[in-house]
Structure 1
């Protein structure tokens, strides 16, 4: 374990650095900076309606801070408060049509920036990116076993 951990740590640092730089570059190219508001909108877009307490816990911020963020988003017409489906005394925060449209536009902008970046790549490099994407998806899902059809790209 120890002999595989050291190279894994070095690779992990390289991956962290490269992914961070890539994300920052894409956000700069697409003019879609991160903020408490955009991260909250993205979270609601991925997970659906949530209470302020759940939003605060998932974003690892204080309840009061999340209340302020939600109030700002509500004032901009990007979220609404809706009755909690199981507890009619409580409420959740949900995206409005304008909030969902904002998320879609932001994602399209970032995808377009990435498409412009990968357009000049060779077919071989694009295939490597497809494989890397599949590996990252597996790691994000907690699945570390390679699929039986994984391609050997000839590099280590």
Structure 2
């Protein structure tokens, strides 16, 4: 943490924002299709889909879990036909993990369902002006997440 002084009003705003973001995340998770995959497995697939192939140790570090836990998760995803392993062209001793077409379909379904729920909620519950404010808020949240 930095030595920046925070007023009680900003601290209260931070608390309210954190709670709101957490409620939205929980609601979006509830809209997940019943794929039988844990959040960790979906996160691993999503990361590989967005960022491309990675090693098991890179995935474990990125997800903040032990290499042993990641090995178990990866093994289950490979067995389910959602991940492939191949030799790293730069270092044949390492393996790169990548998503399969089946995983891409599963992720697309997952994202589509949650996006659809959110689009309906935005349309039904917010005015055009409020949706415009949320577009700005989204960019601000991205800035907060960078640091």
- TM-score band, normalised by the shorter chain? 0.7 to 0.9
Give the equivalent residue in structure 1 for 2:62. 58
Give the drift of 1:8.
2.7
Contact 2:82-2:100 at 8 Å conserved across structures: yes
- The aligned residue for residue 19 of structure 2 is 17
Please name the residue that 1:106 is paired with.
110
Residue 141, structure 1, aligned to residue 143, structure 2 = no
**Post-superposition offset of 1:90:** 1.4
- Give 1:5 shift: 4.3
1:107 to partner: Cα distance:
0.9
Confirm or deny: 8 A CA contact 1:84 1:92 kept in the other structure.
Answer: yes
Q: RCO higher in 1 or 2 (8 Å CA, sep ≥ 6)?
A: 2
1:130 to 108, 120, 135: 135
Give SS of 2:89's match: coil
Cα deviations by residue, 1:21-44 (Å, 9 ceiling, x for unpaired)? 011112213446852211111121
Deviations 1:80-124 (A, max 9, x none): 001113102211111111111211211111101101111122111
Gaps in structure 1 of 5+ consecutive residues? 143-156
List runs of 5+ in structure 2 lacking aligned partners. none
What is the deviation of 1:67? 0.6
Q: TM-score, normalised by structure 2?
A: 0.86
